[in-house]
Amino acid sequence: MTTMPLPQRVWEAVCPLSDLLPERGACALIGGEQVAVFRTHDGSLYAIGNRDPFSGAYILSRGIVGTRNGEPTVASPMHKQVFSLTSGVCLDDPGTVIPTFPIRVTMGMVEVSVK
């Protein structure tokens, strides 16, 4: 049986880690996808889709970062729905999910993969 190799991730540089302020979001255009990038107070990094599925606006990077039951979250600035930064699930409407993306730091640069 022949196995096919898994496709390699394509990592795109977003910004220097020092440019990401804790508890603030930033937006980046990666491979045609608007991505909201967050650095939480403990230094953890998260990348999610920037489009708010309830309003259709690309604004989640401007949301309020927080936690719910210990889970890192962002609240949409439009209608205040809260999304998990780890899973993308809307904690107020679990049937609604936004995309999440792998994120890493390489040599001081934040990188995100949308593929």
CATH number at residue 106: 2.102.10.10
Segment 80-109 mean pLDDT:
97
HSE of 80, CA atoms in CB hemisphere, 13 A: 0
In a domain, residue 94? The reply is yes
Query: Using 50, 70 and 90 to split pLDDT, how confident is the model at 3?
Result: low
pTM (2 d.p.): 0.91
24 C-beta neighbours (distance < 10 Å), count: 13
93: helix, coil or strand? coil
Portion of the chain with pLDDT greater than 70, in percent: 95
Residue 41 phi/psi, 5-degree rounding, is -60, -25
Compute how many other C-beta atoms are within 10 angstroms of the C-beta atom of residue 5: 5
Q: How many domains does the chain have?
A: 1
pLDDT at 81 over 70: yes
Is 80 exceeded by the pLDDT of residue 5? no
25 located within any domain: yes
Residue 1, in any domain of the structure: no
Q: Which domain holds residue 46?
A: 12-112
Q: Is residue 101 part of a domain?
A: yes
